[in-house]
Amino acid sequence: MSGRARGPEPQTIFDVSAPGRRASSVAQPAGSPAEGLIPPGLRRASPPRLPEVSELDLVRHYTRLSQRNWAIDVGVYPLGSCTMKYNPKVHEDVAGLPGFRNIHPWQPADQVQGALQLLWEMEQYLAELTGMARVTFQPAAGAQGELTGLLIMRAHHTATEGHPRSVVLIPDSAHGTNPASVALGGYKVRQIPSDERGLVDLAALEAALDPSVAGLMLTNPNTLGLFETDIERIAAALHRSGGLLYFDGANFNAILGKVRPGDMGFDIVHMNTHKTFTTPHGGGGPGSGPVAVSARLAQYLPSPVVGYDEAANRWFWDTDRPQSIGRLHGFHGNFGVVVRAYTYLRSLGGEGLVRIAERAVLNANYLRALVREAYPEAHPGTCMHEFVCTAKPLRAKGVRAMDVAKRLIDLGFHPPTVYFPLVVEEAMMVEPTETESRESLDALAAALLQIAGEASSDPELLHEAPVTAPVGRLDEARAARRLHVRWEPGSPWLDE
């Protein structure tokens, strides 16, 4: 956040508004104004109170706001579970090509053959990467992919057993979207504990399996950054009891080309293209959460799927899907995000994807070794693309993981994910990604070690951090107690 503008603290755009000022120019219809076309009760008397600003006001306001934001392009962003890797610039150029940007979702297939070919080929690539048979691109993010997968589970059990079963198993280290999706999918959650290795407790899993269990949602490597080495036994146990195995692909980056979910026994896979395939995270989205399934589940995928008529060399939307679970998205999913992911896949190729996994895992293990003494890992063993360590040793000095995170800000880094997964005390979940250099990792490690030292020598420094960010620690309790979630005329942008 260097180069931040000097000058008064930014206000909202509403506060820089002046009546009568404007940036827009809208072509006006020739002829008489459209009177009488709207029933009187439906006409709005005075327009919404949008801001009134010049184009330069607009540009300055949003440029200044942007300068109050961290980003990958600004610096290291080792947010665990989020895969904040570099987003190649060429992707934006490709996604902006008129042939991709300016096509309408209702256009008939013969007018969008390039788009359908892209989706079709991407489907083949993702099928190869996951070891699955078919793919849907409708889910707009990982969580929607999860729900899609759970609805496919329901459809499978309903078709084969006459009812959907009632329970889905979730490890206690799972991401919050997993249990939330289970509930939305009409299932109950049954939690499986992790054992001392940080892996699924096999005995507990076997004890939890019964005919009510529709499936198990698992990410592998798991949210502790560890590979579930018992995966074959887990899959066998689940399949023996008629359940399905769901792969949460948030951590797919670690294993690209090394091991495929299908070969591990998974039946349903979602991917987060915004993580593994570098589409920019956009301040919180958009993403894309394609779901891949094994051949026996392909009939249940959301409708339509892309079809290819080989004889005519023509792609089409296949709507003849009587067993489909239905529709998840208003149109075809986040196509523009898939375009970026496709570009990335073609840029890197198979060999490049394997290199990603190797270097992501190398970076994580390297960084983990550098900081191990001050921040012990939560579990032993080799980590994959991320690691979970703990700030617990600092606790005796009154310092918590949150203090470490905030102090890192002052030292020029985005903090790792803290307090997740919930099963580790004072958790710090660090995912450097493959695009960080050895020098950046050395610098991050040095900062983390410096903070561990400061926890003894000057804990106040940590409690007061950050002092270099645009704001200091914010009062979240107050935000929830005195809800102020919109601007209104006359009210200052804050109460005091």
Partner 1 sequence: MDYTPHTEADIEAMLAAAGFTGIEDLFAPIPGSVRLGRDLALPHGMPEAEVLALMEGLARKNRPTGELVCFAGGGAYDHYVPSPVAHLAFRAEFATSYTPYQPELSQGVLGVLFEFQSMICELTGMGVANASLYDGASALVEAINLATGATGRSRIVLSGALNPNYAAVARTNGGARGFSFSTTAAGDGVTGDLGDLAGAACVVVAQPNFFGCLEDLAAIAEATHAAGALLVVVFDPTTAGVLEAPGALGADVVVGEGQGLGVGLLYGGPYLGYFATRPEHVRRVPGRIVGATVDVRGKGGFVLTLQAREQHIRREKATSNVCTNQTLLAIAATVYLSWLGPQGLVELGESCLAGAHQAADLLASVPGCRLAFAAPFFKEFALQVPGDAERVAAGLAERGYLVGPGLGVASAELASHLLVAVTERRTPEQIEGLAKALAEVVA
224 to 253, contacts with partner 1 by CB under 8 A? 226-227, 229, 231-232
Task: Work out which of 202, 204, 259, 411 binds partner 1, going by CB under 8 A.
Answer: 259
Q: Which of residues 270-309 bind partner 1 (CB under 8 A)?
A: 272, 274, 278, 280-288, 302
> In this structure, are strands 213-218 and 268-271 parallel, antiparallel, or unpaired?
unpaired
Cα within 13 Å of Cα(430), Cβ side: 37
Nearer to partner 1, 95 or 298 (CB): 95
Element spanning 342, H or E: helix 335-371
Q: Which of residues 6-65 bind partner 1 (CB under 8 A)?
A: 9-10, 12-14, 21-31, 33-34, 37-39, 41-45, 47-53, 55, 58-59, 61-63, 65
Residue 131 has φ and ψ, to the nearest 5°, of: 75, 30
Report the partner that residue 223 touches, choosing among ligand PLP, partner 1, none (CB closer than 5 to 8 A by kind): ligand PLP
> In this structure, are strands 387-390 and 314-318 parallel, antiparallel, or unpaired?
unpaired
Nearer to partner 1, 249 or 396 (CB): 249
Residue 10 has φ and ψ, to the nearest 5°, of: -65, 145
Task: Work out which of 161, 240, 331, 398 binds partner 1, going by CB under 8 A.
Answer: 331
x-or-dash pattern for ligand PLP, window 224-253, by CB under 6 A? Answer: ------------------------x-x---
Is the preceding omega at residue 393 within 30 degrees of 0, hence cis?
Answer: no
Tokens of residue 112, six digits = 């969008």
Residue with tokens 């997993």: 178
Q: Within a 10 A sphere around the Cβ of 380, how many other Cβ atoms? A: 11
x-or-dash pattern for ligand PLP, window 180-209, by CB under 6 A? Answer: ------------------------------
Q: Which of residues 86-145 bind partner 1 (CB under 8 A)?
A: 86-88, 90, 92-94, 96-108, 111-115, 117-118, 125, 128-129, 131, 140-144
Task: Give the interface segment with ligand PLP, choosing from 94-102, 120-128, 138-146, 451-459 (CB under 6 A).
Answer: 138-146
CB of 274 to ligand PLP, least distance (A): 6
Q: Could you give the CA distance from residue 476 to residue 146 in angstroms, rounded to a whole number?
A: 30
Q: How far is CA 173 from CA 108, 194, 295, 383, 418, in A?
A: 45, 7, 29, 15, 14
How many residues bind ligand PLP (CB under 6 A)? The answer is 13
Q: Could you give the CA distance from residue 414 to residue 416 in angstroms, rounded to a whole number?
A: 7
Report the partner that residue 273 touches, choosing among partner 1, ligand PLP, none (CB closer than 5 to 8 A by kind): none
Task: Give Cβ neighbours of residue 39 (< 8 Å, ≥ 6 apart).
Answer: none
CB of 209 to partner 1, least distance (A): 19
- Residue 352 binds to partner 1 (criterion: CB under 8 A): yes
- Residue 223 binds to ligand PLP (criterion: CB under 6 A): yes
The residue among 224, 244, 225 whose CA lies nearest residue 235 is: 244
- Residue 138 binds to ligand PLP (criterion: CB under 6 A): no
Q: Which of residues 56-115 bind ligand PLP (CB under 6 A)?
A: 81
Q: Which of residues 190-219 bind partner 1 (CB under 8 A)?
A: none
> In this structure, are strands 305-309 and 314-318 parallel, antiparallel, or unpaired?
antiparallel
Q: Which of residues 286-345 bind ligand PLP (CB under 6 A)?
A: 287, 289
- Residue 438 binds to partner 1 (criterion: CB under 8 A): yes
Task: Work out which of 76, 78, 80, 82 binds partner 1, going by CB under 8 A.
Answer: 82
Report the partner that residue 134 touches, choosing among ligand PLP, partner 1, none (CB closer than 5 to 8 A by kind): none
CB of 119 to ligand PLP, least distance (A): 19
Q: How far is CA 425 from CA 176, 193, 390, 404, 418, in A?
A: 17, 15, 7, 14, 10
Q: How far is CA 153 from CA 120, 138, 164, 185, 296, in A?
A: 24, 17, 7, 9, 11
Q: How far is CA 154 from CA 51, 208, 237, in A?
A: 48, 19, 19
Nearer to ligand PLP, 116 or 220 (CB): 220
Binding site for ligand PLP (CB under 6 A): 81, 141-143, 175, 177, 219, 223, 248, 250, 272, 287, 289
